[in-house]
Amino acid sequence: MVPFVLNSDAYGLVGYAYLLAAVLFIVGLKMLSTIKSAPKGNIVSALGMVLAAGATLLLVNLHAEPGQDFTASLLWVFVAAGIGTAAGLGLGLSVQMTGMPQMVALLNGFGGIASLLIACADYLRQTDPTLIESHILTAAGLAVLIGGVTFTGSLVAFSKLQGIVTGSPILFPMQKIVNALMLLACVVMVGMLVANPKQEALLGFVVVLALVLGVLLVIPIGGADMPVVISLLNSYSGLAAAMAGFVLSNMALIITGALVGASGIILTQIMCKAMNRSLANVLFGGVGAAPTGKATSGPAKGIVREFSLEDAAIVLEAARQVVVVPGYGMAVAQAQHSVKELADVLEARGITVKYAIHPVAGRMPGHMNVLLAEASVPYEQLCDLDAINPQFDQTDVALVIGANDVTNPAARHAKDSPIYGMPILDVDKARTVFVVKRSLNPGFAGVDNELYYAPNCGMLFGDAKKVVNGLTNELKDSG
Amino acid sequence: MESLPLLVPLTVFVLAVFVGFEVINKVPSTLHTPLMSGSNAISGITIIGALICSYGPSLGSVSVGLGLLAVIFAMINVVGGYVVTQRMLRMFKEKGPRR
């Protein structure tokens, strides 16, 4: 049934190495729970990977029977590994911090396609597929299905984040029905493969269907929902790896795939909760497509006050505590370094500066934290929703930079608002709110932000970077 | 490799999911991006499967070709993932001495 059968002693040795690798992965992830230990955790995890890969090479080597020429084979393996390493290093070292969401999406996709390829390769190398057990075939089918969806889904997410295709949802008639039918077809094909293991074409169909399905599932999801999509695809890449593990009866793959799958699911849950939406609503809701009309035609709620940079600087000067609220707009304008510079000027005057970070600010979980860390903002100043909300009453100025829906007080009281119930940053409770924004256009959810009409809110229209630099210069001049 | 009865790997899988939930829940939201890229790198464990499939006596077969392709993708996943994670984690700094 299999090309090589191990003697149990050799497998035992490699098995222990896999177990140790799994322990290293878990310890590595555990060390991510504090910022101080995190970099070492990553190294511990990488050591686990080196160990697992090394043990595998040993494992395959042990299979070499006299007379078989494995040298040529090994050479090809090293060539392939070299190409992958070079590409990984190139991508990993060159990517800008602002491009990190795309990068993570791409890596998820590569994990997915690897699992798909492994499942196909293992199926094709069996001399007599009828001897493959049913659960192995099922796992192979699932690895292909999940891996394929992860691959093309991630490529679509990458294209949306990179701006290659539009970030707004792409909808077509009967979309959900078509997707459901395709998924059903995949499941049926897998079932048929289990019944007729010799029908190679069935697995081929699953490959094609899964690749198309991945595209169709992600195109209707809008740009601002990307944190959920990326987390979910992260989870899928883990599940696909676990399925490949079932195919190969390889514990290291199963354990690790399960860890990554769990991690992605947790992040997905956190993101959905932070938007007060169900996963189904994010995946199938098409939120952010065309403006619903209802949202834009609402009655004018008052006057919008525009502030000049001088006036805003005077208010900032008099503050004791300033809370910066960054959003995707800051990332687009690449304004994180300018923000840090402004914070330095404020702190030099004895003003306390903190940063309020909403879980879904940006395009992936933790996006704002990474950008601000890049600008050397100390991590103690990065506050999450629960930590910062009680502090807005004692805050003199909340400076909202390129964030919108996550600051809309309508989420607290307007029961008819699409964002009602979403946990928001209570910036309106600060004495003064300045909003740096290019125009009065509504945010992603297509909802007018009533914050802008509040009596304590002043608008600073313009590109985030220019406005923030302008504020810094005003403060420097007056100091 | 001989396949094990389904129950053994399934047990391992289910228990590992629970371990994952416990461990990941303790990661602070500040580190969610490195968590994602780091777990991404770990999911490059598929390199093991890729190595097993690509290393065989029958060079030139479709299955070895697919296995080698899988090695490339899994290696990008592993190396790219660990590199970006390390780059990000090294940026997170405590407050320095006051100027």
Q: How far apart are CA A64 and CA A79, in angstroms?
A: 20
Q: How far apart are CA A202 and CA A196, in angstroms?
A: 9
Least Cα distance to A263 among B40, B47, B70 occurs for B40
| Mean pLDDT value across residues A108-133 | 91
* Residues of chain B contacting A59 with CB distance shorter than 8 Å: 52
Q: Give one word for B97, left, alpha or beta, with left for phi > 0 and alpha for psi -120 to 50.
A: beta
A10 touches chain B (CB under 8 A): no
Q: How far apart are CA A60 and CA A3, in angstroms?
A: 11
Rg of chain B taking only CA atoms, in angstroms: 19
Least Cα distance to B73 among A138, A63, A120 occurs for A120
For residue A1, what pLDDT band results from cuts at 50, 70 and 90? very low
* Residues of chain A contacting B66 with CB distance shorter than 8 Å: 117-118, 120-121, 124
A331 plus A248 within the same structural domain: no
In a domain, B73, yes or no: yes
pLDDT at B3: 55
Say how far residue A57 (Cα) sits from the centre of its chain.
Answer: 32
Cα separation values, A169 from A109, A220, A224, A329, Å: 20, 4, 10, 19
Least CB–CB distance from B70: residue in A43, A114, A251: A114
CATH number for the domain that contains residue A348: 3.40.50.1220
Rg of chain A taking only CA atoms, in angstroms: 26
pLDDT at A291: 44
B11 touches chain A (CB under 8 A): no
A220 plus A269 within the same structural domain: yes
pLDDT over threshold 50, residue A5? no
In a domain, B6, yes or no: no
Segment (H or E) for A39: helix A38-63
Q: Give one word for A458, left, alpha or beta, with left for phi > 0 and alpha for psi -120 to 50.
A: beta
pLDDT at A2: 40
The total number of structural domains in chain A stands at 2
A155 plus A13 within the same structural domain: yes
Sheet hosting strand A397-401, strand order edge to edge: A382-384, A352-357, A321-326, A397-401, A432-437, A457-461
Question: CA of A356, closest CA in chain B: separation in Å?
Answer: 11
* Residues of chain B contacting A76 with CB distance shorter than 8 Å: 54, 59, 64, 68
In a domain, B68, yes or no: yes
| Known catalytic membership, residue A384 | no
A383 touches chain B (CB under 8 A): no
Lowest mean pLDDT among A16-20, A156-160, A475-479: A475-479
A238 plus A323 within the same structural domain: no
User: Which of residues A225, A251, A284 is at a domain's end?
Assistant: A284
Residues B31, A35 contacting (CB under 8 angstroms): yes
Beta strand pairing status for A397-401 and A382-384? unpaired
Q: Look up tokens 């406005």; give the residue.
A: A467
- Structural domain including A181 reads 8-284
For residue A296, what pLDDT band results from cuts at 50, 70 and 90? very low
In a domain, A301, yes or no: no
Stronger pLDDT, A66 or A322, i.e. the higher one: A322
pLDDT above 90 coverage of chain B, percent: 70
pLDDT at B2: 53
A255 touches chain B (CB under 8 A): yes
The total number of structural domains in chain B stands at 1
Stronger pLDDT, A116 or A277, i.e. the higher one: A116
B60 touches chain A (CB under 8 A): no
A256 plus A320 within the same structural domain: no
In a domain, A343, yes or no: yes
| Mean pLDDT value across residues A1-5 | 40
pLDDT at B62: 86
Interface test with B, best of A125, A383, A386 (most B CBs within 10 A): A125
A253 plus A392 within the same structural domain: no
pLDDT at A289: 56
pLDDT over threshold 70, residue A479? no
Lowest mean pLDDT among A111-125, A428-442, A462-476: A428-442
What is the pTM assigned to this prediction?
Answer: 0.90
A233 plus A317 within the same structural domain: no
A234 plus A346 within the same structural domain: no
A241 plus A383 within the same structural domain: no
For residue B94, what pLDDT band results from cuts at 50, 70 and 90? confident
Residues B8, A202 contacting (CB under 8 angstroms): no
- Between chain A and chain B, the number of residue pairs with CB atoms below 8 A apart is 405
pLDDT at A288: 59
pLDDT tens, residue by residue, A383-414: 999 999 999 999 999 999 988 889 999 999 88
User: Which of residues A284, A300, A334 is at a domain's end?
Assistant: A284
| Mean pLDDT value across residues A90-113 | 94
Least Cα distance to B54 among B40, B42, B38, B65 occurs for B65
pLDDT over threshold 70, residue A6? no
A20 touches chain B (CB under 8 A): no
Check: complex ipTM more than 0.90: yes
In a domain, A137, yes or no: yes
pLDDT tens, residue by residue, A318-346: 999 999 999 999 998 999 999 999 999 99
**CB spacing of A88 vs B77 below 8 angstroms:** yes
| Mean pLDDT value across residues A81-88 | 96
Least Cα distance to B50 among B65, B66, B67, B64 occurs for B67
In a domain, B2, yes or no: no
Lowest mean pLDDT among A6-10, A272-276, A412-416, B86-90: A6-10
Q: State the catalytic residue, choosing from A122, A225, A405, A448.
A: A405
Provide CB contacts within 8 A for A41, sequence distance 6+: A27, A28, A29, A30, A31, A32, B38
Q: Give one word for A460, left, alpha or beta, with left for phi > 0 and alpha for psi -120 to 50.
A: beta
Residues A262, B17 contacting (CB under 8 angstroms): yes
Q: How far apart are CA A329 and CA A465, in angstroms?
A: 10
Question: CA of A200, closest CA in chain B: separation in Å?
Answer: 12
**CB spacing of B61 vs A6 below 8 angstroms:** no
pLDDT over threshold 70, residue A252? yes
For residue A298, what pLDDT band results from cuts at 50, 70 and 90? very low
Residue A242 three-state SS: helix
Amino acid A447 reads V
A113 plus A258 within the same structural domain: yes
- Structural domain including B40 reads 33-90
Residues 193-212 (A) with a CB less than 8 A from some CB of B: none
pLDDT over threshold 50, residue A378? yes
Least Cα distance to A63 among B1, B88, B41 occurs for B1
pLDDT at B1: 47
| Mean pLDDT value across residues B16-39 | 94
A19 plus A127 within the same structural domain: yes
